[in-house]
Structure 1
């Protein structure tokens, strides 16, 4: 049973994700650019790509807000619906791969510190990020062709028009097959990589007596935060792909899981904080500024 206030709930989650995610993503983007200009590390390159993926996602989020405000009926131009696949769904898949790349980079840094300092690693990391983007875009193109290819004559338009939902029978079969493949490629494999890398990274750090406690805590926090993103944001969404393939239909609760993916923009803020010293420094400066502003306002009264 679908709750009548579901669109309001979706809109609330979109607004929260936008207000929290966008300013922090912009801040993280500025920190990454500044660090890359001075003394870049492989982790900075990967984090920059994750931030760019989040910015694409957050830039398109107001369109999803409008959809939720219209009671989940698509009253906007069809071109925006088609862009939804590239600017809303594609960054979700990209985030999974960039999170896996971050976990791999952290593991290499701890397990192979000598090889990590190789200057060529910057070049390798850039090539890996380019390969991830190309793979994501190619996958999105195949998904687009499956969703919007062929004839729409037998699509059921008796119901209110919705974006990426009104498929013909043949389109739906193709989309469900691709979604099932996406579960393996964009969820299961990145999740396995993250679990393997972070478990071994934490195990190595716990054995090193000279490692500072704060660094160990950040590593544990980064691992837990990444697993939470997969469990809360991406897990239910990919489960809907599996259920949809088994039942050969779009699950009615799929839209709820899609809304949950929006929260990854909020969780990524903590990931940026654990990774980047510049981000932590920026947070401290902002915190100090807010405290001073609060003290001045309070003194006026």
Structure 2
């Protein structure tokens, strides 16, 4: 059995034998490797921008920075998981097993929660510009971030209290449980709570994201007053968040519900169970793709981040406005320099004439 078996239903449902062992070993390593490489590249650049290029911070910037931290927590956990899939056994011990599973599941919740906070912040800025929510200080934004992290971590803390190591010698594995027959009552309750959270933490934020996007769109179309660029900018933010949210988290939510329904109402239907299990395995790769796609949200959601990023690029690669500004600045400097040279020559000529 393999490390991701916990996510796919463990040792099978009813009389069905374990499934997905060969598929997860074939598909997940390359997919997760791509997630790690792209995620590290994008988030290292984002971290560099946040730490060394942004001169001023606002609440929105602080929320995005926390999203970077959440992505790194997932990225540092995936190499161990990739290694376990390639070796076909877990070699890092019980402590790292608990931390690894905790980080993997916490990242999903943290990413969803922080993306939702960013969307809500944008909603109040656009639709209710005079609301006191927009007067939030950086200190208050930090407290909101702490609250979000506590809300994210609290339901996952019990995962750290139990050993998830199964087997012995060089055949040990790190996963939630092997099967319902082998799992303790506490683990069964923990797995049930995890499945409920997987569904709720997708459905509720999706409803909030949809509401914010629709309200922003309607508000700006009614009061555009000749500012179509403002509409496009705000809608790009909402669209980027919703697209990343759906691509990364919808497949896992649907397949989780599918496995749950089959286990509960059709325990004899091995074909359906195998289908949903295999889809769940594939969806895991998309689940962690959010760490690679989140930098897109940073670019669309923060003008300060976007300007800092563009100003850090070579002039030929800079954004349109920044490149134009650079060219204008260069032309202005050259013009000023030329004017100054002409004036100096004129002064020199006058001085020689006066001397004669």
* TM-score normalised by L of structure 2: 0.69
Q: Give 1:2 deviation, angstroms.
A: 4.7
Instruction: Tell which has more relative contact order, 1 or 2 (C-alpha 8 A, sep 6+).
Output: 2
The answer as to whether partners of 2:199 and 2:257 remain within 8 angstroms in 1 is: no
Alignment of 1:112-261 (within 5 A): 112-115=128-131, 119-145=135-161, 148=163, 161-167=172-178, 168-169=182-183, 170-210=185-225, 212-246=227-261, 247=263, 252-253=277-278, 254-261=280-287
Choose 1 or 2 for highest CA Rg: 2
Q: Give 1:221 deviation, angstroms.
A: 2.6
Paired residues, number: 285
| 1:12 matched residue in structure 2 | 30
RMSD of the TM alignment (CA)?
A: 3.3
Q: Does the C-alpha gap of structure 1 residues 215 and 30 become closer, same or farther in structure 2, counting only changes over 3 Å?
A: farther
The answer as to whether partners of 2:109 and 2:201 remain within 8 angstroms in 1 is: yes
Matched, 1:107 2:132: no
Q: Give 1:95 deviation, angstroms.
A: 0.5
Q: Does the C-alpha gap of structure 1 residues 144 and 78 become closer, same or farther in structure 2, counting only changes over 3 Å?
A: closer
Q: Give 1:19 deviation, angstroms.
A: 1.9
Query: Quick one: distance in 1 between partners of 2:75 and 2:230?
Result: 30
Query: Quick one: distance in 2 between partners of 1:53 and 1:45?
Result: 13
The answer as to whether partners of 1:36 and 1:45 remain within 8 angstroms in 2 is: no
Query: Quick one: distance in 1 between partners of 2:192 and 2:151?
Result: 18
Q: For each residue in 1:123-167, what CA deviation from the matched residue of structure 2 results, as whole angstroms up to 9, or x when unmatched?
A: 33222211111111211113444x649xx9xx788xx64322434
Task: Provide structure 2 residue ranges, at least 5 long, that are not aligned to the other structure.
Answer: 1-18, 268-272, 319-356
The answer as to whether partners of 1:53 and 1:91 remain within 8 angstroms in 2 is: yes
Q: Give 1:172 deviation, angstroms.
A: 4.8
Between 244-253 and 180-189, the greater mean CA deviation after superposition: 244-253
Query: Quick one: distance in 2 between partners of 1:110 and 1:126?
Result: 22
Q: For each residue in 1:31-53, what CA deviation from the matched residue of structure 2 results, as whole angstroms up to 9, or x when unmatched?
A: 33457752x32211111111111
Between 122-131 and 94-103, the greater mean CA deviation after superposition: 122-131
Q: For each residue in 1:83-105, what CA deviation from the matched residue of structure 2 results, as whole angstroms up to 9, or x when unmatched?
A: 11222221111111001101100
Query: Quick one: distance in 2 between partners of 1:90 and 1:108?
Result: 27
Task: Provide structure 1 residue ranges, at least 5 long, that are not aligned to the other structure.
Answer: 293-301
Matched, 1:79 2:95: yes
| 2:72 matched residue in structure 1 | 55
Q: Does the C-alpha gap of structure 1 residues 286 and 3 become closer, same or farther in structure 2, counting only changes over 3 Å?
A: farther
The answer as to whether partners of 1:206 and 1:216 remain within 8 angstroms in 2 is: yes
| 1:42 matched residue in structure 2 | 59
Between 221-230 and 47-56, the greater mean CA deviation after superposition: 221-230
Q: Does the C-alpha gap of structure 1 residues 33 and 206 become closer, same or farther in structure 2, counting only changes over 3 Å?
A: farther
